[in-house]
Structure 1
Amino acid sequence: MTINDVSLTHHNGQQAAALLEELCDAYADAYGAEPGGEKTVAFRRRAEKQLARPGFALVTARDETWLVGFVFGYTLPARDTHWWGGMQPEPSAEFLEETGSRTWVLSEIEVRRAWQGKGIGRALHDEVLGARGEERATLATGPDAPAQPVYESWGWRRVGRIPGDEGDYYSAYDLFVLELPASR
C-alpha cells in the first residue's frame, strides 16, 4: 500500500470527538494493544482532554474502508503551560516564553501496523504541520524511544528532558522542537 492509496482529511475538535472510537481502534492496532485495554483507555482520556484545547487539529488517513492513521495536537497556552516544567538542561527564559500562538504540541501520531513503513506517518506529519501558523512545534517521547531517530530524520531536534508526573507511562520524557515553515 502506498500513500496514494489513502486520503488525508483535516478535522476540528468537534469532528474529532465523533471519530474517537475509530481513533482508539487505530491507536490500539498501532501498538498491538487491546482496544479496551489500559493503554487504549489512557489514550482515550488524553484525547478527550485535548479536543477542546485551543488550536486543536486532527488529520486522519483513510483507505477505502479504514482509518489507517492519524495525527493530532494543540497550541500551548500563554500561561500555566507546564510543558517545559523541570526541563534539563534548563533553557533560556526566551525559549520558555509562550504567547498562546507560539508552539503547537504534536501530541499523537499513530499508524496501524499493516500500514507502517509506507510513508503514511510522514505524510500525516507534514500535512498537519504544514497547516500550522505557530513558530514551532514540540513533542515528547519516552527516553530512547524507537521513534526518536525517525523524528530526528524529519528535522526535529532534542532540546532536553522533563520528569514525568505520577501515573505517567514514563518517569521522564525527552522533548523535541521543530521550527515550522510559517516561521522561516
Structure 2
Amino acid sequence: MTRASVLVERLEGPAAARAEAAFRLVYADAFAEPPYGETAEDVAAAFRGFRSRVGRPGFRAALARTGDGEPVGMAYGHPVPADTRWWDELTEPVSADMRREDGHRTFGLLELAVRGPWRGRGVARSLHAALLCGVEAERVLLNVHPDGAAAAAAYRAWGYRRIGRARPWEGPELYDVMVLGLRA
C-alpha cells in the first residue's frame, strides 16, 4: 500500500520484533513533542515490553517507510484479553456488556504515531487501515491523550467515539477512552 511516497507494511510476530528499532525511532520522535514530552527514559520504559507484546496471540503491527526505507510511522496492537484491566481504569463505570471481553471481541490499538514531517499526508489513515485489515474483532479500543487534539480529531473522523476517561498509567493525566465498532 503506498500513499504520499510512503510504503505501509503489515507485520506480525517475528517480523515486528526484527523491526523494533524502526518502531522505537518513530515512537521516540513522535512522542517527544507536546503534549507528550516523552524522554529517552520514557521510550526505554515503553519498549521494555515490546518483545513480549509481539509474541502475544493476534499481535499485529504496521510500519510506514519512505521509498529509501526511512521509518515515518507505526501502529500496533493486539486483542484485548478476557482478564484485561483496561475497563477498571475508567473513572466512571460502563455497562457489564461494554466490559465483557473474551480475548477476541476487542482489538486494543496500543500505539499509532507518525513523525512530524510526514503528518497531514494520510500516513496515519493508511497505517490504521493496514493494521485493522482482516481484524475479526467487533470493535477497537484505544486511549488518547486529552491534549492530543489532532489524534483525537483523526480518530473521531474515522468513526471512533469517546466512552469515558481513564488513568491508564501513573500520573495526573486522564486519557480519553475511545471505541470504534467494526461490525454493525
TM-score tier after normalising by the smaller chain length: 0.7 to 0.9
Output the CA distance in 2 between the equivalents of 1:87 and 1:139: 12
Aligned to 2:16: 16
Q: Shift of residue 5 of structure 1?
A: 1.0
Q: Report matched runs for 1:52-63 at 5 Å.
A: 52-63=55-66
The count of residues paired between Structure 1 and Structure 2 equals 178
**Root-mean-square deviation (Å):** 2.2
Q: Shift of residue 82 of structure 1?
A: 0.3
Contact 2:4 2:122 in 1 (8 A): no
Contact 1:56 1:74 in 2 (8 A): yes
SS of 1:84's partner is: helix
Q: 2:40 aligns with which of 27, 37, 48?
A: 37
Aligned to 2:114: 111
Q: Is there any run of 5+ residues in structure 2 with no aligned partner, and where?
A: none
Output the CA distance in 1 between the equivalents of 2:114 and 2:153: 17
Structure 2 CA distance for partners of 1:155 and 1:14, relative to 1, 3 Å = same
SS of 2:84's partner is: coil
Structure 2 CA distance for partners of 1:163 and 1:18, relative to 1, 3 Å = same
Aligned to 1:152: 156
Output the CA distance in 1 between the equivalents of 2:145 and 2:65: 28
Structure 1 position 138 matched with structure 2 position 148: no
Output the CA distance in 1 between the equivalents of 2:30 and 2:147: 19
Q: Shift of residue 144 of structure 1?
A: 3.7
Using structure 2 for the length normalisation, give the TM-score: 0.87
Contact 2:86 2:168 in 1 (8 A): no
